[in-house]
Amino acid sequence: MCGIVGYIGSEQAAPILLEGLEKLEYRGYDSAGIAVINNGEINARKAKGRLSVLKEKTNSGKDVPGVTGIGHTRWATHGEPSDVNSHPHLSNSGRFAVVHNGIIENYMALKNRLISKGFEFTSETDTEVIAHLFEYYYKGDIMDAMIKVIDRVEGSYALGVLCSDYPDSFIAVRKASPLIVGLGSGENFIASDVTAILKHTRDIYYIEDNEIVVLTKDDVKVYNIDKEEVEKEVSTVDWDVSAAEKGGYEHFMIKEIEEQPKAIRATISPRLKDGRIVLDDVSLTKDDIKGLRKIFIVACGSAYHVGVVGKYIIEKMCRIPVETVIASEFRYCDPIVTKDDLVIVISQSGETADSLEALKVAKDHGARVLSIVNVVGSAIANASDDVIYTWAGPEIAVATTKAYSTQLTVMYMLSIYMADKLSTITSGQYKQYIDDLEKLPELVAETLKNKDQIAYLASKFYNCHSIFFIGRNLDYAVSLEGSLKLKEISYIHSEAYAAGELKHGTISLIEDGTLVIALATGKELFDKTVSNIKEVTTRGAVVLGLTTEEHSMTGIADYTITIPAANPMFLPSLSVIPLQLFGYYVAAQKGCDIDKPRNLAKSVTVE
C-alpha cells in the first residue's frame, strides 16, 4: 500500500527520494510527498495524484535542497486523496515531519486530547496525530519522544520522522508494517520495500516490531524500547536490479506472466535432491504430520485462491481434513483451532495485515503455523514456526501472476511431501509426481505460446459488461483466480461459480450474449461440466471453453482454448495461464492502467 523512503548522506536528498518513490509506485497510491531538512528548517512538498505531479512541483527535487529527508506515497484510508491529506505531516511548530504506513486505531481519542491541549489539525488523517504527539512529548531528546509516542498509539505503523533540531540524523520505527534499513557508504536509507533503494545498496537490516532506528550518514543504530542497542545481522539482496525493471515489456504484468516458467523452476529446483522433495526449512516430522487433526489454510485474495486449490489436493492426497478461510474472517470467527492443527498462512509480501493477525490468532490457540511467502525476513515469515519461501523474485504489478504460480508450486510440493510421510501414496506414485513436477516449467512455457489466440479473443470480448467463470473441483478453484484477474485490471464485473451451483439462482443472470468462460480440464468431471455448459448455451450464453488436448469441445463451446495434457493435480498451473493473459489483453484493449489498477494496492498492510 503506502510507500516510505528515507535518505541521509552527502547527496541531495529530494531527487533520491523521488527516485525511490518511483520504484514504489506499483504498491498503489493516490498522492505523494517529501520533506527535507535544510538550514535547520523542514521543507515539505506534497501533491495529490501521480508522482509526476510532485516531480513537476519540485523541479524533480531540485527546488527542495538538503541532504536528509523522507518521502511517501499514500493510499488513502482516513481522509480523501488531497494535497492536505498527503504525507509528510508536520507538527504545528514545523519542528517534526512524519511519514506513516499503517493505521492508528485510537487516533480519534488522541486527536481530541491534543485539541484540548491547543493543537490545531489541518488534515483528516490519522497520521497527523503522530506529528503532534512528537511535539507534545519532545523535551529535547528525540528517542525519549519516540518511546512515548509508540507507547500511546495503537494499531500498525512504520514511521519515518525528521526533527529540525537533529539535522544530521533521523529516526524510524515499525510495528506490523514493513520497514527495512539500507546500509550504504557515507549514506543510509529506510524504505518499506527493498526495490526503492536497490540502486544504491544491497545490504539491509530487517527491522522487527518496536525496534527504533537512528540513522546518520555514517552510522545506523537500532534500539529496543528500553533504549538498549540491538545487534542486527546484515542481509544481502541477491536478485538483480533488472528483475524490478520492465526490460522492454510494455507492462510489468506481461513480463511477470512470461517469467512464470523461470519462477516455478526456481521454486522447485533447490528442493529436489536425488528424486526426493527436501524441505530443509520445515521442521514438521513424520509424527507431527500423522498427529494432525486438521489443516487450516488462511490467506487473502489470490493467495486464498491458492488455498482453495490446496484444500482439494491435500485432502485427496493426504486424507486430512482441510478448511480454507479468508484471513479477515478467520480473525473474527472464534475459530475452533487446537494444538493438533496446522495453520498454513499464504502471503506474497509476508506483510498482509489480515493474514498476520490471523496468524497471531492461530498461535494464541496453540496451533503450529507454516507460512508460504516470497519476502525473506517479512513479518509473517518471522512469526511462523516454519516457512517455505517461493523464491519468485520481485513482483511489481499489483495483479499477481508469478507469485500465485509459485505459491501453487509450493502447495504441490508440500502435499506430495506430507502424503509420502503419511504413506497415502505409493513409492511409484511418488516417483511419478516428482517426474511430472520437474516437467511443469516446460508445460507452462508451452501454454504461454498461445498468446496470440487469447489476444484475439480479448479483442472480441473486451466490451462485455459482465462475465461468468464456471468450473468444478480444481477448475472451480482456478475460476476464482481467473475472475479476480479480469475484474481487478479491466474493471469488468466478473464472478466465478462452481459449475453445478450456477443453476441454483445465478443462471437467472444469463441472457443473450452473456460470456461464460467454462473450465473443463479434469477427466472425471468433464461430462458434468459439459452439461452445465449446455444449460447456459440454452439461455443464450456465448461460451469460451478451456480444456486440455485430451478433450474436444467442438460443438459444445463457441470458442475453445486448449492447454497441454498433464497430471491432473498440476493442471491449475496451466489453466490459469490463459486466464491471466485474457485479463491482461482485455485490460490492454480498454486502455486501463494495468500495473496500477485503480483503488488497489500491492501489499495490503491495513485492515
Residues 257 and 218 in one domain: no
pLDDT band at residue 379 under the 50/70/90 scheme? confident
Residues 33 and 63 in one domain: yes
Residues 103 and 178 in one domain: yes
Q: With a cut of 60, say whether residue 597 has pLDDT above it.
A: yes
Q: Which residue has the higher pLDDT, 604 or 483?
A: 483
pLDDT band at residue 513 under the 50/70/90 scheme? confident
Residues 186 and 55 in one domain: yes
Q: What is the pLDDT of residue 601?
A: 57
Q: What is the set of active-site residues? A: 2, 602
Residues 383 and 497 in one domain: no
Supply the mean pLDDT for the chain.
92
Q: Which residue has the higher pLDDT, 239 or 76?
A: 76
Which residue matches cell numbers 477448475? 475
Q: What is the pLDDT of residue 97?
A: 98
Residues 338 and 382 in one domain: yes
Domain boundary among 219, 238, 257: 238
Q: Which of 237-241, 328-332, 545-549 has the lowest mean pLDDT?
A: 237-241
Q: Do the strands 493-498 and 466-471 form a parallel or antiparallel pair, or are they unpaired?
A: parallel
Sequence-ordered alpha helix ranges (H) in 24-74? 51-57
Q: What is the pLDDT of residue 217?
A: 97
Q: What percent of the chain has pLDDT over 70?
A: 97
Q: With a cut of 60, say whether residue 607 has pLDDT above it.
A: no
Q: With a cut of 70, say whether residue 240 has pLDDT above it.
A: no
Residues 306 and 283 in one domain: yes
pLDDT in tens, 73-82: 987 777 888 9
Q: What is the pLDDT of residue 508?
A: 79
Please, what's the b/e burial string for 55-68 (b: 16 or more CB within 10 A of its CB; e: otherwise)? Answer: bebbeebeebebbb
Strand partners, 206: 180
Q: Which domain holds residue 355?
A: 248-425
432 found inside a domain: no
What are the CA-CA distances from residue 16 to residues 108, 168, 196, 199 (Å)? 34, 17, 10, 10
Q: With a cut of 60, say whether residue 291 has pLDDT above it.
A: yes
Q: What is the pLDDT of residue 349?
A: 86
Q: With a cut of 90, say whether residue 394 has pLDDT above it.
A: no
Q: With a cut of 70, say whether residue 438 has pLDDT above it.
A: yes
Set of cell numbers at residue 397: 504489478
Q: With a cut of 80, say whether residue 602 has pLDDT above it.
A: no
Q: What is the pLDDT of residue 241?
A: 57
Residue 207's CATH number:
3.60.20.10
Domain boundary among 216, 238, 260: 238
Residue 544's CATH number:
3.40.50.10490
pTM: 0.76
pLDDT band at residue 129 under the 50/70/90 scheme? very high
Residues 472 and 515 in one domain: yes
Q: Count structural domains, the chain.
A: 3
Residues 10 and 75 in one domain: yes
pLDDT in tens, 251-274: 989 999 999 999 999 999 999 999
Q: With a cut of 90, say whether residue 362 has pLDDT above it.
A: yes
436 found inside a domain: no
Query: Residues 438, 520, 453, 575: is their CA dihedral positive or negative?
Result: negative
Q: What is the pLDDT of residue 243?
A: 62
Angstrom distance (rounded) from CA 565 to CA 549 = 6
Residues 409 and 460 in one domain: no
pLDDT in tens, 144-191: 999 999 999 998 899 999 999 999 999 999 987 889 999 999 999 999
Angstrom distance (rounded) from CA 433 to CA 429 = 6
Residues 105 and 8 in one domain: yes
pLDDT band at residue 131 under the 50/70/90 scheme? very high
Helix then strand then coil, % of the chain, to nearest 5: 40, 25, 40
Residues 82 and 154 in one domain: yes
